[in-house]
A = this chain, B = another copy of it.
Amino acid sequence: MGNAKDVALDHESRLVEDDHQAVRLWLRLLTCTNLIEARLRSRLRDEFATTLPRFDFMAQLERASNGLTMGELSRRMMVSGGNISGIALQLEGEGLIHREPVPDNRRSYCVRLTELGHSVFAKMAARHESWIGSMLGQLSADDVDQLMNLLREVKVGVAHAEEGKAD
């Protein structure tokens, strides 16, 4: 399979071959993500005694200068709300974030980084960026562009498959 005879395959077989290739692509994608993620986790633990979800939480806040509600954080981090609650409780206890009620909507909190949170995050973010640079840095600028474009295609394709529930 997968040799020069491919051109002789019928439609059904071609589809199956394509699906095999798609599975291989998925597995490679998963491997890459897992490798990078594992590295980031271990570095964050060793150098900052923190975790990836906590780092992501703070990164979302750093990016959104006006603060975020718990629900927004849940959506952006793609995890359930109950999870956000727990992490927020930890970070609040350590003085890295604070939550203030929103004047016009008493259901929501506005979550922001504290001064301490900003300065701690700045240190972590610099290291984070350098770790990723050391892992992806051997790619040429062209490679990075190509990957960005191809992965956008992937994202679109997955989102499209979401709607039409047929497989």
Chain A interface residues toward B at CB < 8 A:
15, 18-26, 28-39, 78, 127-139, 141, 143-144, 146-148, 150-162, 166-167
Contact = CB atoms under 8 A, between A and B. Distances in A.
Given A25-B136, A143-B150, 17 more contacts: A19-B132, A19-B133, A21-B141, A25-B151, A28-B151, A28-B152, A29-B151, A30-B33, A34-B78, A35-B158, A131-B167, A134-B166, A135-B158, A137-B157, A146-B150, A147-B147, A147-B150
B133 A18 contact: yes
For this chain, the copies found in one complex come to 2
A18 B140 CA distance: 10
A161 to B, nearest CB: 5
A144 B77 CA distance: 27
A4 to B, nearest CB: 14
Given A22-B132, A133-B167, A155 B31 contact: yes
Given A19-B129, A29-B36, A136 B155 contact: no
A38 to B, nearest CB: 7
Contacts of A32: 29, 151, 154-155, 158
A26 to B, nearest CB: 5
Nearest to A15: B133
Contacts of A129: 19-20, 22-23
Contacts of A128: 23
Nearest to A129: B19
